[in-house]
Amino acid sequence: MPLVVRLATPAEHEAVGRLTLHAYVASGILTADDFYAEHLVDAAGRAEGGEVYVADLDGVVVGTVTFCPEGSSLRELAGAGEAEFRMLAVSPSARRQGVAEALVRRIVERARQLGCAAVVLSSQPVQEDAHRLYQRLGFHRTPDKDWSPVPGVDLLGFRLPL
């Protein structure tokens, strides 16, 4: 079966949350007891404030991303006319198979459907593989979108004009 990107169902939210946290921990981005872990596992909460997509490969959810359109309570750096995505995560066993790219492409498609002028995101400096993906898909580093949610956590901004 091909890779399918679709909205997560409520029955999948718990597993999606666990996958998100596991992917971040496996990448060394954070530890399981990090303050941000509770946000990563709360896929149901993200679904209330945005759109949670999953990548389904042969009936198994192997990736996820949260789309934050205008009006979403989850937006952190998007301005007027911009969409944002957050919490892109791929199971370590499914990496290097185009999962992250398929999820980001779905976000861009959704933003275009809504008539957004751009898609923005923030990423930690250590996420270099993700940065290469974003740049390959046309995103540009946007230093004026850089920010720090808490002391010691610096995030880099990226933007794709649509």
Task: Tally Cβ neighbours within 10 Å of residue 157.
Answer: 18
125: amino acid identity, one letter = P
- Write out the H or E segment, with its range, that includes residue 100: helix 99-113
**pLDDT at residue 162 is higher than 90:** yes
Confidence of residue 72 (pLDDT cuts 50, 70, 90): very high
Which of the listed CATH numbers 1.20.120.790, 3.40.50.970, 3.40.630.30, 3.30.300.30 matches domain 3-161? 3.40.630.30
Q: What is the pLDDT of residue 153?
A: 87
12: amino acid identity, one letter = E
Q: What is the pLDDT of residue 137?
A: 98
Task: Tally Cβ neighbours within 10 Å of residue 40.
Answer: 26
Confidence of residue 73 (pLDDT cuts 50, 70, 90): very high
> Which residues have C-beta within 8 Å of that of residue 91, sequence separation ≥ 6?
19, 22, 23, 62, 63, 99
Domain residue extents for the chain: 3-161
Encode pLDDT of 16-27 as tens digits.
999 999 999 999
What is the percentage of the chain residues whose pLDDT exceeds 90? 85
SS3 135: helix
* Mean pLDDT of the region 104-130: 96
Closest CA to 12 of 60, 67, 50, 73: 60
Contact 14, 43 (CB under 8 A): yes
Closest CA to 54 of 45, 42, 46, 66: 66
Q: Tokens 């999948």 belong to which residue?
A: 12
Is pTM, for the whole model, over 0.85? yes
Task: Tally Cβ neighbours within 10 Å of residue 150.
Answer: 8
